[in-house]
Amino acid sequence: MEAAAIVLAAGAGTRMKSKKPKVAHEVLGKPLVRWVVDAAHEAGIGRIATVVGHERQQVEPLVEADTEVVVQPERRGTADAVAVCADALADFDGSLVVLSGDCPLITAATIRRLVDMREQADAAVVVLTMELENPYGYGRIVRDRVGAVERIVEQKDANSAEAAICECNSGFYCFDARALFEALSQVDDDNAQGEFYLTDVLAICRAAGRPVLALPTDDSSECLGVNSRAQLAEATKYAQRRINAAHLAAGVTMTDPDQVWIGPDVVIEQDVELLPQTFLMGSTSVGEDSVIGPNSRLTDTVVGRGCVIDETVAVEARIDDGASCGPRAYLRPAAHLCEGAKAGTHVEIKKSTVGKGSKVPHLSYIGDTTIGEDVNVGAGSITCNYDGKKKWPTVIGDGAFVGSDTMMVAPVSIGAGAIVGAGSCITKDVAPDALALTRPEQREIPGWAAKKRAQQAGK
């Protein structure tokens, strides 16, 4: 399919009441504009121009890697937004799809249908339309006596008969590129909003004798635009249900799908169980037979097979087959639990590897540490990795046993098979198979407590 696309992402979105441009707001962890760009790529469109304007410094980083960024200096309407792409697409001759960057639910299948319909009919334009019970605010599709598309009239310019039409413009089009840019030169701003409407191109192309067609959408939610926080929540709910339905059909169990949120780029194998209040975002992947939740949030995290992740927050972490986390564990970036490892209750791990079969079961912080295989780290143990300026490493060898309430002051190494007594503060390397103790000698004063109580009672 020889097609290109323009993504309109220059608007301010004032109804969002936000410092962020509306296309940078997220649905399930992904910016609105990325949903649209990714759908175009999935549809087979490799060449995409993204039009930016309002707060462009926030939008450009979201799209500059795989689209050509074009700046609209002044927001003078949708026709002007498309016209600024004329130079960027001057050498292109083919189907040109125009997409709204604030409509995250558009699918690749619908984009392909728009292109196929235009090319089969050699039409000047195909517009995606939708039937709405309450069409207020949308442009209306005006047809002639034989049912052909005649023009689109915007809400503010519609008379009473036109305002009663329920077939509406979605804001998605496929144009013949040359016909589009020729017609744009004839568009004026003689309308209620004083803007250059892209919708006027349809009437211009029809007057030139080129076919102008409509493609009714099968699902009007695909065309839902986000212009307010309420619409953002509505789009999120549609996306949640669509994504969850696909995973359920593929063999994933959800106790309550309404309480599971999965990002669009997450990969989940069959026979995974997702418990309520589970969030899987970014590039997270989960292997078969794993159980995630309840109350867990994983972002850009790889989970292997047969894992149990209970009340855990994990960000950019790796959890290998058979490992377990939680409840109330926190895996920070570059945390790696090897096969069968455990990070238990109230454990925080950062930039560290916990070796195969090793355990950090309770109330511990492990940072910048390499833990070998079959190590046990007792409750309340901490790697003291930060000296106020720099982070230092800790190494714990295979088979070592670290007693509860141990402070390991990095840089420090504990040898394989070594034992560290509970309550120790380790500041020097421990040799393999050695016992290390830094606990002070216990002192006892007989009867001291009774005398103290007697003194207090006598006051």
> Structure pTM?
0.91
pLDDT at 1: 52
Identify whether 301 is part of a domain: no
Q: At what angle do helices 108-121 and 32-42 cross, to 10 degrees?
A: 50
Q: Answer yes or no: is 25 within a domain.
A: yes
Residues 320 and 214 in one domain: no
Strand-strand pairing, 329-331 and 95-100 = unpaired
Q: What percent of the chain has pLDDT over 70?
A: 100
Residue 104: band (very low, low, confident or very high) from pLDDT cuts 50, 70, 90: very high
Q: Is residue 292 domain-resident?
A: no
Average pLDDT over residues 401-423: 97
Q: Examine the pLDDT at 107 and tell me if it is beyond 80.
A: yes
Is residue 459 predicted with pLDDT exceeding 70?
A: no
Per-residue pLDDT at 12? 86
Please tell me the total count of domains within the chain. Answer: 2
192, 223, 254 - which closes a domain: 223
Is residue 275 domain-resident?
A: no
Candidate from 102-116, 126-140, 414-428 with smallest mean pLDDT: 126-140
Ligand-binding site membership of 324 (annotated): no
265 is in an annotated binding site: no
Residues 205 and 346 in one domain: no
- What's the rounded Cα separation, in Å, for the pair 259 and 165? 38
Same domain, 199 and 314: no
**Among candidate residues 171, 200, 223, the one where a domain is terminated:** 223
Could you read off the pLDDT of 311-329 as tens digits, one per residue?
999 999 999 999 999 999 9
Note whether 214 and 315 are same-domain residues.
no
Residue 48 lies in a domain: yes
- State whether 200 and 63 are in the same domain: yes
**Residue 28 labelled as part of a binding site:** no
Residue 414 and residue 397 in contact, taking contact as beta carbons nearer than 8 Å: yes
- 181 and 57 both lie in a single domain: yes
CATH number at residue 157: 3.90.550.10
Task: Determine if residue 404 is labeled as part of a ligand binding site.
Answer: yes
209 and 333 part of one domain: no
pLDDT for position 2 = 82
pLDDT over threshold 70, residue 444: yes
pLDDT grade, residue 269 (50/70/90)? very high
32 is annotated as contributing to ligand binding = no
* DSSP for 49-114, written as a single string: EEEE-TTHHHHHHHHTTTSEEEE-SS---HHHHHHTTTTTTTT--SEEEEEETT-TT--HHHHHHH
244 in a labelled binding site: no
Name the domain boundary from 170, 200, 223.
Answer: 223
Mean pLDDT on 262-278: 98
Query: Backbone phi, then psi, for 44, in 5-degree steps?
Result: 95, 10
Catalytic residues: 362
362: in domain: yes
CA distance 75 to 130: 26
Which pLDDT tens digit goes with each residue over 345-403? 999 999 999 999 999 999 999 999 999 999 999 999 999 999 999 999 999 999 999 99
Q: What angle do CA 97, 107, 12 make, to 5 degrees?
A: 65
pLDDT tens, position by position, 175-189: 999 999 999 999 998
Least confident of 11-20, 48-57, 60-69: 11-20
Establish whether 8 is an annotated binding residue: yes
pLDDT-based confidence at 91, cuts 50/70/90? very high
Q: What pLDDT does 306 receive? A: 98
Give the DSSP per-residue string, 195-257.
---TTHHHHHHHHTT--EEEEE-S-GGGG----SHHHHHHHHHHHHHHHHHHHHHTT-EES-G
- Between helix 56-63 and helix 32-42 the angle, nearest 10°, is 30
Domain containing residue 422: 310-436
Position 13 scores a pLDDT of: 86
How would residue 286 be classed by pLDDT, with cut points 50, 70 and 90? very high
Mean pLDDT of the chain: 95
Q: What is the mean pLDDT of residues 73-89?
A: 93
Indicate if 216 and 101 belong to the same structural domain: yes
Which CATH number covers residue 356? 2.160.10.10
Does any domain span residue 135?
A: yes
Q: Is 101 annotated as a binding residue?
A: yes
Residues 345, 215: one domain?
no
Residue 290's nearest CA partner among 244, 321, 245 is 321
Q: Is residue 213 domain-shared with residue 321, that is, in the same domain?
A: no
The amino acid at residue 188 is: D
* DSSP run (H or E) holding 299: strand 296-299
Is 427 annotated to bind ligand?
Answer: no
In a domain? residue 127: yes
245/392 Cα distance (integer angstroms): 46
Q: Give, to the nearest 10 degrees, the angle between helix 200-207 and helix 177-184.
A: 100
> Measuring CA to CA, how many Å separate 199 from each of 3, 158, 249, 355, 404?
20, 13, 39, 61, 71
Q: What is the DSSP string of 358-388?
A: -EEEES-EEESEEE-TT-EE-TT-EEE-B-S
Is residue 374 a known part of a binding site? Answer: no
Phi, psi of 97 (to 5 degrees): -90, 135
Return the pLDDT at 409: 97
What's the pLDDT band for 441 if we cut at 50, 70, 90? confident
Q: Which residues pair with 54 in a beta bridge?
A: none
